[in-house]
Amino acid sequence: MAQRITQIILALIGGGIGFSISYLLRGLDFMRSLMMTTGYGWYIIVSAIVLLFAAITFVIAPWLIRIVLQMVRFFENALQRTPMQDLIGSAFGIIVGLVIANLLGASLSRIPVVGSYVTVVASLLLGYLGLSVGLKKKDDMANLFAFFRMGKTKTDSGKGNFKILDTNVIIDGRIADICRSGFLEGTLIVPRIVLEELQHIADSSDLLRRNKGRRGLDILNKMRKEQIIRIDVRDFENLEGSEVDARLLKIAKRLDAPIVTNDYNLNKVAELEGVKVLNINELANAVKPLYLPGEEIGAVDVIRDGKEVGQGIAYLEDGTMIVIENGKRYVGQNIPVVVTSVLQTSAGRMIFAKPKLAAKDASSHPRRYHEVKVIG
């Protein structure tokens, strides 16, 4: 019903266009002669043109409606995919460009002959220039608005506000708990390239990779729905290189923001590039309980033998590995151990210990000293 009504309205518009065209034809010489020779001939021609245009418009109306709806859906999807910050930046740039063009238009319009055309060209050029500059400087404008909103000076435009997430830390999942605890503040930036990599992993033919990708997307959606912390998905232009890590480093330098990751290799490369990294593995190691040499650890499960002869391997609840000297014979048992040394590496913490039972056995058999008489 709605389509039929729209079709009739378009036919009426087409008839109006035909009526306007007929009046333009009225100025032609043969039309004037026709009006002078026949009284009703002109009205017949006008009616024929109006009906012709109305009929043509009525016939092509469904095609026009379909094309218009497709264009509306295309622009709607494009606007939904575009981040709000990009829309605000581009709109602000266009407004500034058109205002400048309007101010210049009063002077340019006085140019003889071409004045009106120069005004139109200036409006188009300055509008496009404002759109381009506003889109590229959206981050600076956001920081400027944040400055006025917070009412204090920020000497560093990006530091302390933005933190960039990489693919591994999203898949890991612990970032959601860290945000929920309140130890991470500011805005988490998820570059579009990271989101595309997650989608590529989720579409992988490998079951394990596919599950990891879907887990990362689920965690990201959960964090956005819970509104634990602000998450902003952004597009970044002019990023050279095919590797995602290299692009992340360029984004971090552009925003002067740290990268949140648990990737060991990315951590090392970022240190060489002078980019700050927040490694959640280092955070996990920092909050693990500290054991000193000679301290006793309660009962641990010796699950397997170690690389060296006679060693046994056990794990704490937080995943810290314990290498037990002469612990192979206790595999499958639950025994207390005494810490001998602690090794801290960038990959984690490793504890070396020995069975407390062996220490008791050694203390229960003290050394015997023989009395020796010295003469002279």
| Tens digit of each residue's pLDDT (9 = 90 or more) over 111-167 | 776 767 777 888 888 888 887 887 777 666 666 665 554 444 343 344 447 899 999
Mean per-residue pLDDT over the chain, rounded = 79
Whether 213 shows a pLDDT value over 70: the answer reads yes
Cβ-in-10-Å burial (0-12, 13-18, 19+) of 54 comes to buried
**Residues above pLDDT 90, as percent of the chain:** 7
pLDDT of the residue at 158: 41
pLDDT of the residue at 144: 61
Grouping H, G, I as helix, E, B as strand and the rest as coil, residue 231 is strand
pLDDT of the residue at 155: 39
Report yes or no on whether pTM surpasses 0.85: no
Q: How many helices (H) and strands (E) does the chain have?
A: 14, 10
Q: Could you tell me the residue ranges of all domains in the chain?
A: 2-81, 84-139, 162-286, 296-363
Of residues 148 and 191, more confidently modeled = 191
The CATH number of domain 296-363 is 3.40.50.2300: no
Other CB atoms within a 10 A radius of the CB of residue 172 amount to: 19
Tokens 């920081």 correspond to 143
| Tens digit of each residue's pLDDT (9 = 90 or more) over 304-327 | 988 888 899 998 877 788 999 988
Q: What's domain 162-286's superfamily in CATH? A: 5'-nuclease (3.40.50.1010)
- DSSP one-letter string for 291-328: --TT-EEEEEEEEEE-SSTT-EEEE-TT--EEEETT-G
Of residues 3 and 337, more confidently modeled = 337
Question: How many Cα atoms within 13 Å fall on the side-chain side of residue 71?
Answer: 6
pLDDT of the residue at 143: 61
- Crossing angle for the helix pair 264-273 and 244-255, to the nearest 10 degrees: 40
